[in-house]
Amino acid sequence: MTTITLKHRIRVRAPLQQVFDYVSDITRHPEWSEGELKIEEVSPGPIAIGKEYASRGEFTVQKERPNTVRVSVYEPPHKFGFIAKDPDAGDVSHVFTFSEQGDGVLIERTLTLSLNPIVALAFRFLLYPFVGGPSMEKSLAKLKKRLENL
């Protein structure tokens, strides 16, 4: 298997705690996600490591793609992460790191996944540059707009 790590950054003008609270509420991700996304809590209670969600969303041309999502990192107000169990890609880790910068917050989003070498090659040079990367940039731009208008 080949491990792929992708990083994206965006700076927003909003208070650190507000940014963390908004992003760590996975049920709000459809508000800023590029494409259709539905998320429901599976396990009750507050956000914590191990909390689970059911997700259905678009992935390239496939709609209603199911994922099981589990909170894997919860360190308020600086780090939040979850693992989405994808039917084809397996565990896809999403980690958000938040750091204050002047009058705003730098959000760094790191995705990590493991794919067989041939699929990894296609992902890295075809799927991600033309579909995944642009979609991620649009999502982060929507997140920025939402956070700066809360």
Q: Give 4-15 as a DSSP string.
A: EEEEEEEEE-S-
Domains of the chain by range and CATH? 2-148 (3.30.530.20)
- Residue 112: closest CA among 103, 122, 123, 101: 123
pLDDT tens for each residue of 74-129: 999 999 999 999 877 789 999 999 999 999 999 999 999 998 899 888 888 888 88
> What residues form DSSP beta bridges with 12?
105
How much is the pTM? 0.92
Instruction: Return d(Cα 53, Cα 50) in angstroms, integer.
Output: 10
- Strand ranges across the sheet with 62-75: 2-12, 104-115, 90-101, 79-86, 62-75, 52-59, 37-41
Q: What's the mean per-residue pLDDT of the chain?
A: 91
